Amino acid sequence: MIVVTMTPSIMIGSVDIPVLHLIFSMIMPILIVAAAAAYILINDLTLRRYHGMLLTLIQRIEVIPSFGLDQIPVLASLFAETSDPALNKAFDRLQHDQDVLYQQRWLPDPARELTLEKLLSGTRLAALRLRPALTLLSIGLFASLISLLLRIQQPVANADLAAALPWPPALLGVIAALLMGIQSKTVSERLRYDLAELSSVIGLRVPVFGQQTGIAQLIDSFFNYDRQMVGSLDRFNATAARLAES
């Protein structure tokens, strides 16, 4: 059994409230709300920054008038003009792999570099995950549990207040977790859609190596091999015929 010694109390109005009740039932909910507001603000700023930037980049790529490898330097300059180091480095990696892996014939699939995990900083990426929401929910529930135990160990004279004190942390923890979870999911889906659109529009302006490209290359290699075998067989038959006639 948990035993809590009597702690100092604070007079609020005409009610004497122990300090521990004040910490877990009043201060903790305020901290939960403040933390939730901070994460929500971070996600909102992330959406405003990257959605606008990606949309502008997509629109500028769409107006490129022609298709071909000669458009890759144009794309590189457009990425550089975004002034986002992570986005610029992502396209640099695509160009490097184009030279090393694909003999400058195709650009690698942009979708493998244009991801939230590679573009967002640690704080921005962490805010888009469910872990902060679950953490605040856990803190709220834990604070309510402690408040319930404190009500036994350090009772509050006002019965109505004593009954209400345990619930604010849990209630605000649930509300904060729901709001954060919904917002992070919405922002994440919006930005992932924008990145998918960007990858798609890049493929409309430069040759991109994808699964279909690989299959087409394999089929073409089989056809080339077949033609070479037919040519070799024809030459062998012609040589055999000449030897038979001589």
Same domain, 229 and 173: no
The pLDDT tens digits for 216-235 are 344 344 434 455 555 556 56
Residue 116 has pLDDT above 90, yes or no: yes
CA–CA distances in Å: residue 149 to residues 132, 138, 163, 165 = 26, 17, 12, 11
Does 2 fall in a domain?
A: no
Range of the domain at 246: 211-246
CB 46 within 8 A of CB 127: yes
Residue 18 has a pLDDT of: 67
DSSP 2: -
Same domain, 191 and 242: no
Report the amino acid identity of residue 185.
K
End-to-end CA gap in the chain:
110
Residue 112 has pLDDT above 50, yes or no: yes
CA–CA distances in Å: residue 112 to residues 93, 118, 119, 129, 158 = 10, 9, 11, 20, 61
Same domain, 152 and 196: yes
Query: How many structural domains compose the chain?
Result: 2
Does 14 fall in a domain?
A: yes
Same domain, 196 and 231: no
- 54, with CB counted inside 10 A (0-12, 13-18, 19+), is buried
The structure's pTM equals 0.76
What mean pLDDT comes out for the span 16-25?
74
Selection from 90, 181, 189, 195 nearest residue 127 by Cα: 181
Same domain, 16 and 76: yes
Does 4 fall in a domain?
A: no
Residue 169 has pLDDT above 90, yes or no: yes
The pLDDT tens digits for 121-138 are 889 999 999 999 999 999
Same domain, 36 and 131: yes
Query: DSSP per residue over 101-121, as a string?
Result: HSTTSSEE-GGGTS-HHHHS-
Does 3 fall in a domain?
A: no
Residue 142 has a pLDDT of: 94
Query: DSSP per residue over 202-229, as a string?
Result: HHTTS-EE-HHHHHHHHHHHHHHHHHHH
Tokens of 193: 């859609």
Question: Hey, what's the torsion of the CAs at 210, 212, 215, 220, to 10 degrees?
Answer: -100
Strands 107-108 and 9-12: unpaired
Does 28 fall in a domain?
A: yes
